[in-house]
Amino acid sequence: MSRRKIAAGNWKMNTTFEDGMELARKISHASIPEDVEVILGIPYVYLKPAIDMLLHVPKVSVAAQNCHSKEKGAYTGEISTHMLSSISCPYVYIGHSERREYFNESSEELADKVDRAFAQKLDIVFCCGESLEIRKSGNQNEYVCRQIEESLFHLTKEQFRKLVIAYEPIWAIGTGETASPGQAQEMHNAIRSSFAAKYGDEVAATIPILYGGSVKSANAEEIFSQADVDGGLVGGASLDAEHFEKIINSFS
Ligand code: PGA
CA distances from 36 to 50, 112, 195, 203, 240 (A): 20, 30, 23, 20, 19
Cα end-to-end distance, the chain, whole Å: 15
Å from CA of 108 to ligand 1 middle: 24
Residue 180 is classified by DSSP as -
145 pocket-lining for ligand 1 (C-beta < 6 Å): no
Mean pLDDT of 144-160: 98
Q: How far is the CA of 170 from the centre of ligand 1 (A)?
A: 9
Residue pLDDT, tens place only, 62-121: 999 999 999 999 999 999 999 999 999 999 999 999 999 999 999 999 999 999 999 999
Task: State percent of the chain over pLDDT 70.
Answer: 100
**Residue 203 pLDDT:** 97
Give residue 2's pLDDT.
81
Which of 105, 168, 188, 245 is flagged as catalytic? 168
Give 157's pLDDT tier (boundaries 50, 70, 90): very high
Q: pLDDT class for 191, splitting at 50, 70, 90?
A: very high
**CA 213 to ligand 1 center in whole angstroms:** 5
Q: What is the mean pLDDT of residues 40-47?
A: 98
Alpha-carbon distances of 194 from 13, 103, 144, 250, rounded to whole Å: 33, 27, 10, 27
Q: Is the CB of 128 under 6 A from ligand 1?
A: no
Q: Is 45 helix (H, G, I), strand (E, B) or coil?
A: helix
Whole-number pLDDT of residue 1: 61
**Nearest protein CA to atom 3 of ligand 1, as residue:** 235
Mean pLDDT of the chain: 97
Q: Residue with the nearest Cα to atom 2 of ligand 1?
A: 235
Reported confidence tier of residue 178, pLDDT bands at 50, 70, 90: confident
pLDDT band at 222 (very low <50, low <70, confident <90, very high): very high
Average pLDDT over residues 10-24: 98
Mean pLDDT of 140-144: 98
Cα–Cα distance measured from residue 68 to residue 76, given in angstroms and rounded to the nearest whole number: 11
Cα gap 247→252, rounded to integer Å = 11
Closest-CA residue to 206 (of 64, 5, 32): 5
How far is ligand 1, taken at its centre, from the CA of residue 87, in Å?
Answer: 26
By residue count, the chain amounts to 252
Residue 169 has pLDDT above 70, yes or no: yes
User: Is there a catalytic annotation at residue 96?
Assistant: yes
